[in-house]
Amino acid sequence: MGGAQELQVQVIEAQEPNLTKDEDVITQPSHPTPKRGYKWWLLMALYIFFVLSGQSIATLLGRLYYNKGGNSKWMQTIVVTAGFPFVLPLLIYFSYKPSIPNHNSTSNKKSPSIITLVLLYTSLGILSAGDNLMYAYGLLYLPVSTYALVCATQLAFNALFSYFINSLKFTPILLNSVVILTISASLLALHAESNGTTGVTKVQYAIGFLCTLGASALFSLLLSVTQLLFEKVLKKKTFSVILEMQVYPSIAATCVCLVGLFASREWWSLKGEMEQIGKVSYVMILVWTAVAWQVFNVGALSLIFEVSSLFSNVISTMTLPIVPIFGVIFFHDKMDGVKMVSLILAIWGFISYMYQNYLDDLKSKATRTEANESSNTTAS
């Protein structure tokens, strides 16, 4: 009997390193891990829908705001985060919902202190406010199709930050994707014209391009840092953690934006904007823009939490073929030859990345199979 117990202990000890190894495999690649139930895949499909629909609608409504006569960059910055009250009921519900016990849960580990969380969420909120302001300038000075295509560089930036922050391993295919997407945005920089935006000078176009490029880089950095915080600081595997990461930084970002709105004196022009656009239309545009950004944030943070920041960014990049098409339909943007080539390169880069995901899936599945065979051999 004693020998059998010793053998059982040895088997358990032999399996523990394999479990740790599997966890590393799960957290590092930029793709959904295999061996998931259908409920998990349904959730992933829902999160992907949130990202695609939320970002597309918010971008188009932001362009509509400017086209109708709106001119406040701070107002467009505020609506990105000011919709957090819509998420509060979900946060309250999931915060008090009893969690299901899980032997792999890390809830027994020490949680970060209140001071640490306040500094963390405040810092993220301030950076998010600056990022959203740069995006607002880009959306003001660029046609929506050009704006969306320049945002493709966020995937290249995210791959770079994931390499240093999240230990992403570059492969030739992934590098090919990054280079192609970078070339795609560079074509737009060389093609500096103000098609689709009335009264925009070349200097303003350049400012819009640089702001969008800088915002894409900062957004990618925030995604990689968020993944790192989920894994190393927060550590809890609950949906309430995702909502906390969305709500609390949004509160800080909204406060920063309100200060900027009054300090810049842009709030003086809001009444004139409302009269020009129409009170009902003005409120509806801002409210639904705020709601759309909250839908996007729920989906993006959930994908970071469940998979990785790079995978979340790839799904976000899938809006590239969607937004420019609607930009041509609704805002009469010109889809000329250079933009078409840039769009094709962006799609090519996206397909290259998804092919790398497919190869990573196969490698991850093979690793699990070897681990299971090794465990069975030790047990026998």
Q: How far apart are CA 282 and CA 350, in angstroms?
A: 36
pLDDT at 197: 57
How far is 253 from 242, CA to CA, in rounded Å?
17
Q: What share of residues in the chain are helix, strand, coil (percent, to 5)?
A: 80, 0, 20
Given a cut of 80, is residue 17 above it in pLDDT?
no
- Residue 217's pLDDT band, with cuts at 50, 70 and 90, is very high
Q: State residue 189's pLDDT score.
A: 59
- The SS3 assignment for 29 reads coil
Q: Do 356 and 177 touch, CB atoms closer than 8 A? A: yes
Dihedrals phi, psi of 304, to nearest 5 degrees: -65, -45
Q: Does the pTM of the predicted model rise above 0.85?
A: no
Whole-number Å distance between alpha carbons of 257 and 89: 23
Residue range 224-247: mean pLDDT, rounded: 90
Closest CA to 259 of 76, 82, 68, 74: 74
- Report residue 152's pLDDT band, with 50, 70 and 90 as the boundaries: confident
What sign has the CA pseudo-torsion 279, 281, 284, 287?
Answer: negative
